[in-house]
Amino acid sequence: MDKNRLAILKLIKAGLLSEQCVLEDDLDWNYILLSSYRLDIVNVVYQAIKSSNLHVPPEYLKVFQVQALHGMKRDRNQISLINALFKCFEENGITYLPLKGSVLKSLYPKAEFRQMSDADIYIKAGEYDRIKPLMEQLGYSFVGGIHHELIWERKDELIVELHKSIFDPTYGMIDYFDRCRDKAVDNRHQNFRMDLDINDHLVYAVIHLAKHCIIGSANIKNLLDIYFLKKEQNIDETYVEQCLKKLQLKDFYDVLCAALDEWFNGKDFSERSEKLLIPMLTVSEKNKASRRLASSVVINHFCKKKVTFMGKVKFCFMKFFRPYKHISKEYPVLKKVPVLLPVFWIWRPFHHFFTNSTYKNNVLDMSGQQFGQRVEKYKADMELLGLEKMIPGYDEKSE
């Protein structure tokens, strides 16, 4: 692991634990600042800079100060908006179950150390018709939705993801989360609020991180959530490990625990720990897009033992010829004139190629000779982390 990523990990640890840290010379503070901003950990890193009295170039220190103040303001505003939303649900008899950041930030030394990109809340799908006008009254606008969540936004302030199921059903585990939901009914803090048992929330956090590792969008915040959940007094490790073993994620959990132990106890990182941590600290959009593309090929099962020409053709066919319900969201005119669908099937790839840099890079990426090797490396990484059995469509027999 390079010295700049190691420096970020040291800064996070020092900021969270109020410790002193010593860094190497000649660090790339532009990289550290950019990474801290994109990973939503500026407040933690700035705390470490202050408490350790580190010498940071003035131009970067000033940006850290400004962004940390912005983070505090943003966090307080989000907490206020979330509390107002919960109050509205209580007053109108709406059953709700908060997930992830809005719950876990209370475990951190300071609330602003756990920044949120959105607020995740499980709701009963049957109550959505009652929830929709309440969201509008509170100033939220509907953005869109996928099979398991509905997304609302209060512009430049808060995104709320209303989950119709606690976890993405693409990955299975419905029985497990139905049981968690039923247990939560008996764990009410208020009349209509439900909360996951702390052990189930840890299992949920592990599964959530596993999903993001698979699709190439894991954030170091997700691992920190697990660190603080594990520190809770009521955690039953035997129960947690039994659940994860049934869900075929015990090996992945072992990797997480080892990485946290090595990180927070100053040990050398193992190969598996580095495979876990480096993608979480990678902020290059190009690198992340390339990883997401490789994961998409594997998830959609267009390659068995290796990436073939026909596998690429099938993948491109799926991406180019999107179903009507998907492409009509992108081009609303199709809702009025659905017979134009074949026209947009032809127009869309060319339009995206010249207007969407990520789309263009993906097309060029897949046409390159090295793409098959990257897919194979992705699959090897997933196996090293113990995640291959969780990938939808992954065929063990093909290996």
Q: What percentage of the chain carries pLDDT values higher than 90?
A: 51
Confidence at residue 318, expressed as pLDDT on a 0 to 100 scale: 64
pLDDT of residue 186: 58
pLDDT at residue 376, as a whole number: 79
Residue 139: predicted pLDDT: 95
| pLDDT at residue number 164 | 86
**Can you give the residue ranges of every domain in the chain?**
287-398
Most confident by average pLDDT, 237-241, 351-355, 364-368: 237-241
Output the pLDDT for position 167. 77
Taking residues 37-47, report their average pLDDT. Answer: 95
Rounded mean pLDDT, 348-375: 66
Quick check: 269 and 259 in contact, CB under 8 A?
yes
The answer to whether residue 359 scores a pLDDT higher than 90 is no
Q: pLDDT-based confidence at 245, cuts 50/70/90?
A: very high
Top mean pLDDT of 22-26, 42-46, 309-313, 375-379 is at: 42-46
Give me the mean pLDDT over the 331-336 stretch: 78
CB 29 within 8 A of CB 277: no
| Average confidence score pLDDT of the chain | 84
355: pLDDT strictly greater than 50: yes
Percent of the chain with pLDDT over 70: 79
Across 290-313, average pLDDT: 62
